């Protein structure tokens, strides 16, 4: 592969860099030195700059979604959720998020949400240093589970994130 192709592939392997390239907020020399691409830093930086010029600009749009918070949820074995007649908010891989006497909080968004909204929400929660214990999206619903003490902050972060979800541009 050429140096330009190697630089593009390395950028695509790092979604944060691809987003920054689309947003036009990259120090190309610093990005080039961060990538594990054989070649001179200046040449790699030039390849990244040219790649950024070809990418669609970063666009965001608000999502119409209702966001609610439910305290006292827990992540349990699916069998335990069924035997306790618990109302499972999410079931995956033998585990379930259920309402009850748990020590966690679920943030549920319903409406215009999908994988792109979940990506934005998780990125924002990570930036806010709010650990996520479970997350999923399906059928117009998005769910994240956090520790109870992080519930209010997580609710605010999710609401803000849904106001600026990156528009997916595949290229």
The secondary structure of residue 46, as a DSSP letter, is H
Residues 16 and 93 in one domain: no
Tell me: do 31 and 110 sit in the same domain. Answer: no
117-168 pLDDT per residue, tens: 999 999 999 999 999 999 999 999 999 999 999 999 999 999 999 999 988 6
Across the range 64-88, mean pLDDT stands at 82
CB 141 within 8 A of CB 111: no
Q: Is residue 49 domain-shared with residue 81, that is, in the same domain?
A: no
CATH of residue 85: 3.30.2130.10
Asked whether residue 171 is assigned to any structural domain, the reply reads: no
Number of domains in the chain: 2
Residue 78, classified by CB atoms within 10 Å of its CB into exposed (0-12), middle (13-18) or buried (19+), is middle
- pLDDT higher than threshold 60 for residue 36: yes
Note whether 94 and 18 are same-domain residues. no
Structural domain including 32 reads 3-54
Do 108 and 25 lie in one domain? The reply is: no
Interatomic CA distance for residues 57 and 133, integer angstroms: 32
């Amino acid at each position: 592969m050429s140096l330009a192709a190697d630089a593009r592939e390395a950028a695509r392997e790092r979604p944060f860099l691809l987003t920054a390239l689309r947003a036009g907020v990259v120090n190309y020399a610093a990005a080039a030195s961060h990538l594990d691409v054989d070649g001179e830093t200046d040449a790699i930086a030039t390849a990244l700059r040219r790649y950024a010029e070809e990418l669609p600009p970063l666009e965001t749009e608000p999502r119409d979604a209702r966001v609610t918070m439910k305290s006292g949820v827990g992540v349990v074995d699916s069998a335990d959720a069924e035997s306790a007649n618990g109302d499972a908010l999410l079931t995956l891989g033998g585990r379930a998020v259920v309402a009850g006497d748990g020590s966690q909080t679920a943030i549920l968004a319903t409406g215009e949400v999908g994988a792109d909204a979940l990506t934005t929400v998780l990125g924002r929660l990570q930036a806010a240093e709010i650990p996520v214990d479970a997350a999923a999206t399906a059928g117009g619903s998005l769910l994240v589970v956090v520790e109870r003490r992080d519930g209010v902050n997580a609710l605010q972060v999710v609401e803000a994130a849904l106001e600026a979800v990156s528009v997916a541009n595949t290229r």
